Amino acid sequence: MSTADTRQGLHVENLEVAYNGVPAVRGISFEVNAGEAIGLIGPNGAGKSSTLLAIMGATPRTGVVTVHGHDISGLAPEKVVRTGLALVPEGRHVFTELSVMDNLRLGAVARRDKSTYKSALEHVLDLFPILRDFGHRHAGLLSGGQQQQLAIGRALMSDPDILMLDEPSLGLSPTAVDTVFEALDVVRKAGKAVLIVEQRAEFTIAFSDRTYVLHDGVITLSLKPEDADNVEVLTEAYFG
C-alpha cells in the first residue's frame, strides 16, 4: 500500500495471525470508516482479540493495515497509537496503582496535538462524570464498570480517530454496560470510528452499523442491526 492511498479510516486487508505456526486469523479483510461502529463477534478462540492486537502491532501478522491511507505495517504499538488508533484492551488494564487522573494523563502521552489536552480532559470527564468525582482515587479501587470507563477515557485522551475495544462489557453489570455503550454512541456521533470485539452478540449487532462474525479466524457472516433479533441468524453466527 503506498502512502498515496487517499482512503480514510481503518482498512484491513488479508490479515493473518499465527501463534507458533498455528493460524489464529486467516486472511480477513474489513474496513471501519469515520462515524461508524463495526462489531466483531464470534465464539472463544475465533481470533477476535488477535485481530485487534495485530492491528495495533502488538502481535506479529501479515497482510496490510492502513489508517487514513497510511500503511502501519511494522510499526510498534506506541507508534500505531500516534497514527490515530487506540485500543481499550480486554480486562481494562488500567494502571491500578496510579490515580484516575494519572491514568488519563498517560493516555495523553500519544496525543498529536498537545495544546488541546485540557479540553480533551474536560470532554472525557463530561463523558464519564464518575472519573471527575474519583480523580485522585487509585484506579485499583474503582469498580469494574468505573475501570472500564477509565480505560475508555484513557484511550480517548490520545485523540484517536478510530477507537477499538476488546470485550468492553466483560464482567460488567447491565447498568455499567449501558453507561459504556451510551458513551460509545456519543463517541461515534462525534465522528470517530468504533470497532468493538464482543461476546454479547445481540447487543453488539444492535449497536453496530455492521457486525462481522468470526469463526476459526475467518469472517463467515456480515450482519446488520435488524439481524439482532433474528434467532436463526444468531444461531448461524455462533454455531455455523
Partner 1 sequence: MNQLIQSLVDAISAGAVLGLAALAIGLVFGVIRLANFATGEIITAAAYSLILTWDLGWYISIPISIIVAVLISLLMELAVFSRMRNHGPATLLIASFGLSFLLQRVYELIFGNNVRTAPIASGLAQSVDIGGIRVQMLSVTTIVLAAVLLIALQLFLTKTSLGLQLKAAAADFKTARLVGIPAGRVIGLSFALSGILAAAVAFVLTVQSGAVGPSFGVRITILALVGAVIGGIDKISGSLAGGFLVGFATSMLASWLPQEMTNFKDAFVFVLVIAVLLFKPSGLLIKGRGVVRT
**Site residues, partner 1 (CB under 8 A):** 56, 58, 76-78, 81-82, 87, 89, 93, 95-98, 102, 105-107, 109-110, 154-155, 158
CB of 131 to partner 1, least distance (A): 16
CB of 60 to partner 1, least distance (A): 10
CB of 135 to partner 1, least distance (A): 15
Amino acid type, 212: Y
Would you say 38 or 157 has its CB closer to partner 1? 157
Would you say 50 or 211 has its CB closer to partner 1? 50
Chain Cα centroid distance, residue 223: 18
Would you say 103 or 169 has its CB closer to partner 1? 103
Would you say 18 or 206 has its CB closer to partner 1? 18
CB of 109 to partner 1, least distance (A): 5
CB of 80 to partner 1, least distance (A): 9
CB of 76 to partner 1, least distance (A): 7
Would you say 110 or 219 has its CB closer to partner 1? 110
Would you say 19 or 143 has its CB closer to partner 1? 19
Q: Give the span between the Cα atoms of 207 and 202, in whole angstroms.
A: 9
